[in-house]
Structure 1
Amino acid sequence: MESRPANGDSDPNSNPVTNSVGPPSALTYLDPHYWDERFSSEEHYEWFKDYSHFQHLIKSNITTSSSVLELGCGNSQLCDELYKDGIVDITCIDLSSVAVEKMQTRLLSKGYKEIKVVQADMLDLPFDTECFDVVIEKGTMDVLFVDAGDPWNPREETVSKVMATLDGVHRVLKPDGIFISITFGQPHFRRPLFMDPKFNWSMEYNTFGDGFHYFFYILRKGNRHIEEKEEPEKHQNPPINMYQDELEGEDYLFRTSIDAEEN
């Protein structure tokens, strides 16, 4: 999401929300004013678990010399964690001017002056062609699917926005760059979009999480093979066996919306 809400200071793996369990409807996530208001009062929230849960996957795919673009930084600390792991050439974007201003202030207070934060729309990336080694998003694209309708046959407007995002990502990636997407979206729903014939990247994924799985997709530009197929694979849904922090957190609210549409 081009956003994130506020974390407490207790268990680092918990995800409490300070103001509420979430918006009255998942469709609220599509309203830019909602995020401005939310960021005005919230300091930190991590959608889909914190960095420690997928750090090993990041380290396997990003080097300290990589130039990285983060889509929808919100008030996540993903860029902070990447920086602490030695990845300093980072550009973060968010649609919310409130999120951008607060992120800039926070990073400067920590001395992370190399990280750039820019107000921008992921549907229309304002960057040169082939200028990043890595583009990463964590929950940001999931917002585009809250009004998708049938997940097997999403609305035309949803597909248009998703493809605009993917077009931009593919364009700004260097010839051997990678796109990392951290999401609830299961492979049988994401593959037809990720593997559209216009893109020359390959697709692989890993999972992480305690109670149910989140997906860590890796799309490698210039690495697609002719024999790769676009049709969805057989896939069993991850077990829903959640811990208390997942039941109380907003991730679960969003997951339930997706599951309801699947059924």
Structure 2
Amino acid sequence: MDRPEPENPDVLPSTALAYLDRNYWDKRFAQEEHYEWFKDYSHFRHIVLQHIKPQSSVLELGCGNSQLCEELYRDGITELTCIDLSPIAVEKMKQRLINKGYKEIKVLEADMLDLPFEDGCFDVVIEKGTMDVLFVDSGDPWNPHPATVEKVMKMLHEIHRVLKPEGIFISITFGQPHFRRRFFSDPEFTWSIEWNTFGETFHYFFYVLKKGQRSLESEEYREKTHIPSISLYHDELEGEDFLFRTNIDEMES
């Protein structure tokens, strides 16, 4: 079933560049109670539960007003920590979880480029659409601006650092492998890279990066893997997601 547009049309930005503005997010979260980027949990639950176990300690980056942490909790994954850069999003998420009785979930105001956690403390780090924000002003996708590269690498270094030795990073995104591999495959990282797609015509990618399992054999195999294209105009591309997709298509043209 298609997801509706944002409850309040006033939260829609005029361009994708607004997603880089912290003030935009504070204003949006003050007005908006819930919005799901890149489809809701039901579309990728079957993939998530292959990698996140009930005993896993999980960090969600950029929780915003998503229900992802609640869905994971209902599936028995209770050791959850959510972060967001917006203090308004954090306070509203805390209250929402308390009201629903999900008191075990921790919600913190924090920057994913400078995570306030010790090394090796999470089994899983997950993000849905959060990394995509870093690319809205990246320029040529084959040769992104140095500032974009620096931010993305900071994010990935922090994720790699806080993961346990055999931890998993899950990234749910529009970013196709031929654009994301240059970052994920940096020699400083020890993780292997796998991906699935969900959505009827492969609109969204579900990456699974397993720390400590990098191998040349798997990289060579993945280089030969056919990557399906993404259609901007397919009816399944729903809600506000088109702003991300439009920005990416303009850069790829």
Scaled by the length of structure 1, the TM-score of the pair is 0.91
Q: Which residue of 2 aligns with 1:83?
A: 73
**2:178 equivalent to 1:188:** yes
Structure 2, unaligned stretches of length 5 or more?
none
**2:41 equivalent to 1:55:** no
Q: In structure 2, how many angstroms separate the alpha carbons of the residues matched to 1:262 and 1:239?
A: 13
In the TM superposition, residue 228 of structure 1 has moved relative to its aligned partner by 4.8
- In structure 2, do the counterparts of structure 1 residues 242 and 212 end up closer, same or farther at CA, with 3 Å as the change threshold? farther
Q: Which residue of 2 aligns with 1:243?
A: 235
Q: In structure 1, how many angstroms separate the alpha carbons of the residues matched to 2:243 and 2:109?
A: 27
In the TM superposition, residue 85 of structure 1 has moved relative to its aligned partner by 0.1
Q: In structure 2, how many angstroms separate the alpha carbons of the residues matched to 1:210 and 1:42?
A: 28
Other structure's SS at 2:49 match: helix
Question: What per-residue deviation string (whole Å, max 9, x for no partner) do you get for residues 168-187 of structure 1?
Answer: 00000000000000000000
Q: In structure 2, how many angstroms separate the alpha carbons of the residues matched to 1:235 and 1:37?
A: 37
Q: Which residue of 1 aligns with 2:3?
A: 14
In the TM superposition, residue 212 of structure 1 has moved relative to its aligned partner by 4.5
Q: In structure 2, how many angstroms separate the alpha carbons of the residues matched to 1:232 and 1:190?
A: 13
Q: Which residue of 2 aligns with 1:120?
A: 110
Aligned pair count? Answer: 250
Q: In structure 1, how many angstroms separate the alpha carbons of the residues matched to 2:227 and 2:63?
A: 30
Q: In structure 2, how many angstroms separate the alpha carbons of the residues matched to 1:15 and 1:236?
A: 27
Q: Which residue of 1 aligns with 2:209?
A: 219
Q: In structure 1, how many angstroms separate the alpha carbons of the residues matched to 2:21 and 2:47?
A: 32
Structure 1, unaligned stretches of length 5 or more?
1-10
1:66 to 50, 56, 61: 56
RMSD of Structure 2 on Structure 1 (CA): 1.7
Pick which of 163-172 and 19-28 moved more: 19-28
- In structure 2, do the counterparts of structure 1 residues 55 and 77 end up closer, same or farther at CA, with 3 Å as the change threshold? same
In the TM superposition, residue 226 of structure 1 has moved relative to its aligned partner by 3.6
Other structure's SS at 1:43 match: coil
Scaled by the length of structure 2, the TM-score of the pair is 0.94
Question: What per-residue deviation string (whole Å, max 9, x for no partner) do you get for residues 19-42 of structure 1?
Answer: 228211111100000000000010
In the TM superposition, residue 225 of structure 1 has moved relative to its aligned partner by 1.1
1:258 to 239, 248, 251: 248
Q: In structure 2, how many angstroms separate the alpha carbons of the residues matched to 1:237 and 1:254?
A: 16
In the TM superposition, residue 238 of structure 1 has moved relative to its aligned partner by 2.7
In the TM superposition, residue 254 of structure 1 has moved relative to its aligned partner by 1.4
Contact 1:97 1:119 (8 Å CA) reproduced: yes
Among the aligned pairs, what percent are the same residue?
Answer: 64
